[in-house]
């Protein structure tokens, strides 16, 4: 049997919708399991970290990207290749420090919250998409880049955009191999 050319895109959309709905169910279950939002946030971060340390192999194999020479290139690679490949969106990148080690990924549209209207009042400190922070941190760690990753703004909390902050923790010269 032959497939029509549009069929593959349809399957991709169905699997993305299934992923988004499943993620929502996961967060809802974690909210039932943990009383404190901080515990849910930490759990999502740990889960994301575990995903990130495994996902980097797939990313490097499928994307065939070359080694990044600066934090700026790394941030661009995350936004333009990784987010596009796995979430179907391309956030804009903003360097937010003079030292060049702090970046913001600004998402106009966050596919993980496609079916979420707003957070309940009793869950005001919940970081619904904290899994993404863990994924980025885990993937960066596997390529020997220590980073802090956190949400700076979130549309679910009334902000205009969703913004993920990435702070690389070492200076570029610290990454060179010593002989």
| Residue 70 structural domain | 16-168
Query: 13: pLDDT confidence band, cut at 50, 70 and 90?
Result: low
30 located within any domain:
yes
108 located within any domain:
yes
Query: 163: pLDDT confidence band, cut at 50, 70 and 90?
Result: very high
Contact, 135 vs 76, CB < 8 A?
A: no
76 located within any domain:
yes
104 located within any domain:
yes
8 located within any domain:
no
65 located within any domain:
yes
44 located within any domain:
yes
Report the CATH number at residue 92: 3.30.1380.20
Query: 120: pLDDT confidence band, cut at 50, 70 and 90?
Result: confident
Cα 156 to Cα 32: distance, rounded to the nearest angstrom? 19
Total structural domains in the chain? Answer: 1
Cα 137 to Cα 45: distance, rounded to the nearest angstrom? 9
pTM: 0.86
**DSSP secondary structure code for residue 111 in this structure:** G
H-type helices in the chain, by residue range? 7-33, 37-63, 71-77, 84-87, 130-142
Closest CA to 101 of 163, 152, 172: 172
Contact, 37 vs 126, CB < 8 A?
A: yes
Q: pLDDT tens digits for 50-59?
A: 999 999 999 9
Q: How far is CA 81 from CA 107, 110, 141, 151, in A?
A: 14, 16, 18, 20
22 located within any domain:
yes
Q: pLDDT tens digits for 20-74?
A: 999 999 999 999 999 999 999 999 999 999 999 999 999 999 998 889 999 999 9
Looking at residue 150, its pLDDT comes to 97
């Amino acid at each position: 049997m032959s497939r029509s050319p549009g069929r593959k895109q349809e399957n991709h959309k169905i699997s993305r919708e299934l992923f988004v709905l499943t993620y929502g169910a996961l967060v809802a279950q974690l909210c039932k399991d943990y009383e404190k939002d901080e515990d849910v946030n930490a759990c999502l971060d740990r889960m994301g970290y575990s995903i990130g340390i495994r996902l980097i192999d797939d990313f490097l194999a499928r994307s065939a990207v070359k080694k990044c020479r600066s934090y700026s290139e790394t941030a661009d690679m995350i936004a333009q290749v990784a987010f596009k490949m796995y979430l179907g969106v391309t956030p804009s990148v903003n360097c937010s420090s003079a030292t060049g080690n702090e970046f913001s990924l600004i998402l106009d549209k966050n596919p993980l919250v496609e079916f979420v209207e707003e957070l309940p009042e009793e869950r005001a400190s919940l970081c619904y998409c904290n899994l993404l922070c863990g994924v980025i941190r885990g993937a960066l760690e596997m390529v020997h880049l220590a980073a802090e990753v956190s949400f700076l703004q979130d549309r679910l909390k009334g902000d205009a955009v969703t913004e993920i902050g990435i702070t690389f923790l070492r200076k570029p010269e610290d990454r060179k191999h010593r002989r």
